[in-house]
Amino acid sequence: MKRRTKITLTIVGLLALTGIFCAANPTPFTPATCQFSTSSSNNFNNFSINAGNYIWFTSVLKAQNLPSNAPVTITFTNQTITSPNFGPLSVPDATVTFDPNVNFATTTFGPGGVSTTTVPSNPTLKGNTFFSALSFLVPANLPGSVHPVTWSGTISTATPGVKVTWQWAAAVYPNAHFSADPSLLGVKPVDDKVQNPYLNADHAGTPENFKTFTLPGATGGGATNYTGSLGASKTVGPCQP
């Protein structure tokens, strides 16, 4: 009499035989991130800049196609500023989050000048939003009309459809009335007059605690031109992960 052999195949065994394997702990899905290399050139005006003064470089952005029900985070990394007379300068990383769940715009700075800005997005506030910045202590006298001055970096977001338009400017401040620590400057997060700590018409990036000391030079004329005049706008996107 022939003995019958009983064969039991588990689901895992069956899948193994067919060349299919399911991990017990699959890797979580991570949305793709859109990364855009970008650069923008501007010219300094004809005012010379004395050694020991600060140049306050600021960039701003506007975002398009933001969803009304979910936050969108945009980062600016690998930033450098170059010119024939100085640089390359390394600009601290920056993160901006447009969040429909907040109603007040803020900008804070961490170690190394890394900035985090959060702004309402439902509805969005008027004008530009602060993006990133650098306090540059001028080591030697700079002549007027330095050009080109080029700001480059990588803009990233993981939200499909989002486009980012950005610009930059630069203003001059005296050493005795400024700081290399951006957390002491009182940086205004948005252009808008509402829903932020500084209810005025100053531009995003204005160093509110020292704005009355601004000098002519870089892309600014002093007086009330606290951030300097913005250069040409550059647009990246839309994001298509």
Mean pLDDT of 154-167: 97
Q: Are 129 and 41 in contact (CB under 8 A)?
A: no
Mean pLDDT of 153-178: 97
Q: Are 42 and 219 in contact (CB under 8 A)?
A: yes
| Average pLDDT value over all residues in the chain | 89
Indicate the pLDDT class of residue 19, thresholds 50, 70 and 90.
very low
pTM for the whole structure: 0.87
What CA–CA distance (Å, rounded) separates 142 from 219?
13
Mean pLDDT of 84-88: 97
pLDDT score for 162: 97
What CA–CA distance (Å, rounded) separates 60 from 132?
7
pLDDT score for 169: 98
pLDDT digits (tens, 9 = 90+) for 24-75: 333 333 445 999 999 999 999 999 999 999 999 999 999 999 998 999 999 9
pLDDT score for 46: 97
Burial 208-237 (b: 16+ CB within 10 A, else e): eebbebbbbbbbbbbeebbbbbbbeebebb
Neighbours of 22 (CB within 10 A): 9
Tokens representing 69? 């029900």
Evaluate if residue 165 carries a pLDDT over 90: yes
3-state secondary structure the chain: CCCCCCCCCCHHHHHHHCCCCCCCCCCCCCCCCEEEEEEEEECCCCCCECCCCEEEEEEEEEEECCCCCCCEEEEEEEEEEECCCCCCEEECCEEEEEECCCCCCEEEECHHHCEEEEEEECCECCCCEEEEEEEEECCCCECCCCCCEEEEEEEEECCCCCEEEEEEEEEEECHHHCCCCHHHCCECCECCCCCCCCCCCCCCCCECCCHHHCEEECCEECCCCCCCCCCCCEEECCCCC
pLDDT digits (tens, 9 = 90+) for 167-204: 999 999 999 999 999 999 999 999 999 999 999 999 99
pLDDT score for 97: 98
pLDDT score for 241: 73
Evaluate if residue 114 carries a pLDDT over 80: yes
Side-chain half-sphere exposure of 224, counting CA atoms within 13 A: 4
